[in-house]
Amino acid sequence: MLLSTDASAIRDAAQLLRDGRVVAYPTDTLYGLAVDPRNVVAVRRLFELKGRAETTALTLIAADLAQAEAAGDFNPLASRLAAQWWPGPLTIVVTARSIIARETLAGGTTVGIRVPAHDVARALAGEFGFCITATSANRSGANPAVVTDEVIAALPQVDAVIDAGGVKGGAPSTLVSAHDGRATLVREGAIAWDRVVRSLQ
């Protein structure tokens, strides 16, 4: 199912997520795959669709900081990073709230969350009312999708695709751990690590 980016279509997409379905959507970097991170069945289906190892945790996208805080425990360092870099391609790893399915966390206790600089992605999370998963819309190990045709070709079983045209592509979000009160680089990405370090000085 191909959906537009208007408010009615975003409402339809949010309802699909409530029904345990998988929705592909645009972000400020790549197309992502959304499910409800609290729904064990939906999370398992997402892993199956991607062919992704269930030992690899999923990151989340939030509409705003308040929504992010409903999914993770933002200590002072995490809050500083969020204030400095959101909306934008910085994923902050914090201690997960118990409401998040353990399958989403790959059995761990932390979760990566970000607020993207993309109106449609934020609107989808906002309409859904909770954070959504943010894994790239491709089979694991394959090139990430930057247009809807690539999403559909790679993942024909996805339930819906929100078509916003092409997205920027390039590097994924930079992943920084802050759950223990120290900023630690987990994955280099769209924001250079040295810029993150300087922003905390």
* pLDDT tens-digit series, residues 148-166: 999 999 999 999 999 988 7
Question: Which whole number is the average pLDDT over 50-73?
Answer: 94
Q: What is the DSSP letter of 30?
A: S
Taking 90 as the threshold, does the pLDDT of residue 30 lie above it? no
185 sits in which H/E element = strand 184-187
Q: What is the pLDDT of residue 170?
A: 80
Spatial separation of the C-alpha atoms in residues 161 and 92, rounded to whole Å: 26
SS3 state at 27: coil
Taking 90 as the threshold, does the pLDDT of residue 62 lie above it? yes
68-72, 123-127, 143-147: least confidently modelled range = 143-147
Q: Which of residues 8 and 143 earns the better pLDDT score?
A: 8
Q: Are 191 and 174 in contact (CB under 8 A)?
A: yes
Taking 80 as the threshold, does the pLDDT of residue 169 lie above it? no
Centre a 10 Å sphere on the Cβ of residue 53 and count the other Cβ atoms it contains.
9
Q: Give me the domains of the chain, ranges plus CATH numbers.
A: 2-199 (3.90.870.10)
pTM for this model (two decimals): 0.93
Band (183; pLDDT cuts 50, 70, 90): very high
Question: Which whole number is the average pLDDT over 78-94?
Answer: 97
Residue keyed to tokens 């118990």 = 98
Spatial separation of the C-alpha atoms in residues 74 and 2, rounded to whole Å: 36
Spatial separation of the C-alpha atoms in residues 156 and 162, rounded to whole Å: 14
Taking 80 as the threshold, does the pLDDT of residue 168 lie above it? no
